[in-house]
Structures are given as C-alpha cells and as structure tokens.
Structure 1
C-alpha cells in the first residue's frame, strides 16, 4: 500500500465508522418496526451482497428462476434496474423490451426466464404490490436486496467475493467497498462465495466468516457451458479452433477470460474491456468490428448482459456466452438446492 493510500484510509476511517454506525441504526429501526416495511403475501428470497460491485447476483437470480420453474412455481422478481430508463414505473420487462428502458440485467433475466415477471422500479414495495394485485405469484425474488430492508424476506442470501473475507473485510465506504459493516452479516441465512478454487489459503480466509456465524457457506462456481449465436441457431459447447475476440463490460473481466479457456477450450485472439454496465454505442461496435477484422476473428464473444446491448448493433459474428453457477457446501450443510428447497418448504407451510 502506497503512502498516499495510507493517508487516504486514515482520513476516510472516521467517515467510514460514522456511515457504518448510521446503517446499523437504520437496520435496528427496521428490525424494531420503527421504520415501516412490507411483508409480501408469499415467501420472499433476497439475493444481495455486502460490497459495491459484481458478485454474481444476476446469475444467482437466474438460477433461482430455473429452480422455481422446476418446482412449478410462478416467480416475481423485484429489481431497481440499475441504469435503466423506463418510460413509466413500475415497469414490467418482457424478452422484447428495449434494453435502454429495461436495463441490461433485467432484460437478460426476462429472456432467460419468460415464465417469470420481472418488475423494474426503485420503489420495490410499489412494484411488488402492483404486480401481486394484477396476478398471483408463488414466490418473490428481491434482486440486490441485502440492504433493501423495506421488503421483508424469508431467505436472505449474501453473496461474497474472496476479497470480502480478506483484504476488504469490514472496510466500509468511503474507506473501502462495503455498503455496511460486518454486523450486517448476521442478517444472512446463507453465504455464497464466488471463488474459482478452494485451496488451503481460501479455507483459511473463510475461517474468518465461520468464526462469527453458524450459517451455511457455499462455494459458488461460475461456468460457461456453451456459446450460441445471438442472431442464429448454432450452439457450441467447445470452441477449440475458433478464432474469437472477447468483449466484456462486466465487473470481473479476467474471470470471463479464464472461464472461456477452462470451459470452452478457446484462447481468444484479443480482449476488449469496457466498464461494468457500459452502454454500447454504434461507435463502440465499429471499434469492435475493426478489431475483429484486424485479428481475423470469425466470432465475437460477449457475456449475456453485454450481448443484449450489442444485439441491435451487431452482425452474425456476435455470440452470447451462457453463464451458469454450481454450488458446493463448505460447511457441514446439505447441498444448496436441497437447503433452499427445505427453507422454501418451511415458509410455504407457515
């Protein structure tokens, strides 16, 4: 750590402590009923995190939507729709919604799960009440909901990055990336840690979390099982000989690169990185097209949330990467699918 970073952290620490204290008071006010909250009439699962930035919330919500379908449940997703610009609120997202109105992640969820209702509204209480008044649902999924205490939940899933349990532990804004201090973790019913490998060093890091809670901890492993044409029907599970250019506008672009090599066997000719949630423009696609031509790339690979923004601009060379998650228990608890089903069953019969 440089001297200037040390000076900044020293100056930011009082503000960080004050901010953390204010959020503790806020959480206590909700817990004691001093601030009003809404209890959905059906079980509610919240998917959220403790830090700013991506930890895999959208793939987690997508997994829950598939899990719900397999159980014959009709799910409702309440999301604020980061960087969306809906013409009205609440805004129901369909697979055909314009991406600039719906937002990249809500549109991706709607295309992944057309059997679900995806509602965009910063006021998720308003969105939930309206959707449930119009149609019955069996399950509410609260996207990015760990700090959204206005909606009561039955299952609170907290997604963590490895750095959350190591260098970033309890480093609250503005001194670090955490939205709340470590006391907030007591609200979680389970923790899901997105890590690529589970070695002795990672287990040592996880011991910090296990000391403070008896909640189940699961490793959340991301996979890319296939790539498919955005404007076509072809789908491949291996891309050994493909001449590919990778384009990403996500929080952790390096992870996508590594997954491509591990899961699809492709070594991209190049990698164009853009900021997370980047609003791709025609000039961006022109630059991507020129780079692909210069590298003699046959296909252009993009993550799902990038592909929905590139689709109106791109030609047949654009391929979308399917992203899924697998879970393995780190603590002595049942497999995640069994655990969430048991939690659901307990709430279903209350």
Structure 2
C-alpha cells in the first residue's frame, strides 16, 4: 500500500510534471487515454513493471502495452516495417497497438513482454497522455487501471474505486472518449488481428490491402487482452437478450425497454464510449445482467468481444 494514499493530480502543466516525476521514481500513475485509463509505469524499470502486476493482481504471463510519444520513439524499441509504417501513418496517434519484434539493445523490461521477443506499442491520441509521455520522455507500460479481470475504467472514479492506496497517483482528465481499448495487430509475421478495439478491422485491412489472420481461443497469449474471461462484473452476464429474465438488469442498444442504454439511436461509436461506464453502473446493483444484441460490424466487433469476455466463465 502507498503510505500516504493515492494522490489526485489535475491534468494541468503542474500535475503532468508531477506525474512524470513519479514515473521517473519508479512509481505508478494512472492517466487518461482516449480508450480507457491506463496504469502507467516506466517500461524500462522491472521493479515498476512488477508493481503494475502486483497492483492489478495481473497474471505475469499476460504482456503489457508500451505507450510512446511518437512513431519515431517506437522505432527505438522495435524492428520497423513497411506495414508498420502504413498503419502508424493511418492511425497514430490513436487506438491502434502494433506488436513488432524487439530491437537489439531495446532496454525494455522482460516483464513488459512476458518473456516474448515482441513488444506491443502504441501512440495514444489523448492530449494529456501525449503531454505526459513527452514530459517523461520514455516508454510507459500501461494496461487498464483496474484490478485484473474486472471492468475497465473510463473515469478517475473508476480507477479510485479499484486501486486507491495501491498506486502513487491518478492524473484526472475526465471521461475517456473511445471507451474500448485499442485494436491490437500483430506484425511479427503475417498480419494478425490479436484483439479488436477502437479501430475497425475493415479500416486496417483497407490500409494493408490484406486480410488479417484472427487470434483463436486456445492460441498462445501474444498480446494483452486475450484472456477468455476479462472485464468481468461480479454477477453473471447473459448476452443477446431480448428481454429481462428473473431479477436481471438489462443493458440495451437501440430502441428497447431497458435499465440503461448504450445508445438509444443505435450508434456503435456512442455505444463503445459508454460500454465500461454502463457495466460499472449496472454492476453496482449486484443483480445479474442481460445485454441486448449488438451488431457485429465496425466497432460492434470490439464491443461484442468485450461482452463475450465479461460473460465467460471466470479464469482461475
């Protein structure tokens, strides 16, 4: 536990400078990105990275994403390629993570990569995150800032509820805009979709002019966010529900009678931004949860991926 508790920092120049100083000391800082709040630690400092796993209760075989300030910064740590150049030019800064082979002399802690010879790296679009990375001037390992397997945080209050007293500070910059984590694309071999997310598969395939292989259940973990049970509320979750059963609360989409609606207008972008906040709110009821069908295209692919993991049997 942190002796004096978790600091609350505002996202102004003073707060950003203080957050960067804490990272340099090997301490952990939660900060907003456009996707969800990340729990940041110096990706070159094994003690700091171990602290991330400890604070989250995260399995050490589950690799982390390194956040950097620019594509040029990413190339200090990974072997670049034409495909990486094309995707970074199209989608960075933004909610896309690339998994690439590590460069010689990279300096990244092996705890970040879970012992793999690849690194997951991205350049976030969120203004405060980018200022923090520029101020820190180094790679920041940052999984979602929540206890492992639980609902991802899209506000500072979500972070505080799960990690207060376990981390040095929270850099509060309001709610996250995208609301689901980044899409992860593997480029260490043939291009592969390792996790759907904030950039739609169709957009990526258009840029690459190629179809992506899809990660399958039972495949080895090669990137963050591939555990089958994840984002899990306390009570059971039932998917593709047309109505409530028993004591359930209904999370809706479109024009339905429900307890909370991801998007009454059927807007997938709005639904993605609201997803984790809605799961948090309904989880507070302590009742089983039912979820309306979500179209499985565009951002709906990422939303359905998160919902399937929320509904999956809990990993032990």
When normalised by structure 1's length, the TM-score is 0.25
When normalised by structure 2's length, the TM-score is 0.26
- More RCO (CA 8 Å, sep 6+): 2
Larger radius of gyration: 1
**Bigger share in helix:** 1
